[in-house]
Amino acid sequence: MYDWEPHIPRAPRLRVDETSCCGEYELASEGGEYFVLRWTGDGEKQEETARGVFARAYAVWHDLAAGHQHKSRAS
């Protein structure tokens, strides 16, 4: 439903504003842009979607966080 791409840092500091219940999705920002992060299947890298203004990124994060299946990071 959303287009995911590898997260490539664009500023020296990443800030996580919200995290879903089990850490599956994070609403983050860096350099004045907001986006949603998720870990890749191998747990080593992150992907991002919805980069841009807060309202857009928050809406996507809320949609994903509300609709995901709870799972532990170890699974």
* 72 domain residue, yes or no: no
Quote the number of domains for the chain.
1
Count of helices and strands (H, E) across the chain: 1, 5
Q: What is the pLDDT of residue 2?
A: 94
Domain that holds residue 28: 5-67
The long-range contacts involving 33-42, CB below 8 angstroms and separated by at least 24 positions, are 34/58, 35/7, 36/2, 36/60, 36/61, 36/64, 37/7, 38/4, 38/64, 39/73
* 74 domain residue, yes or no: no
* 32 domain residue, yes or no: yes
* 11 domain residue, yes or no: yes
Is the confidence at residue 52, as pLDDT, over 70? yes
Q: What is the pLDDT of residue 37?
A: 97
- 7-45: pLDDT as tens digits: 999 999 999 999 998 889 999 999 999 999 998 888 789
The residue that leads in pLDDT, 50 or 68, is: 50
Is the confidence at residue 72, as pLDDT, over 60? no
- Its sign, for the CA torsion 68, 51, 33, 8, is positive
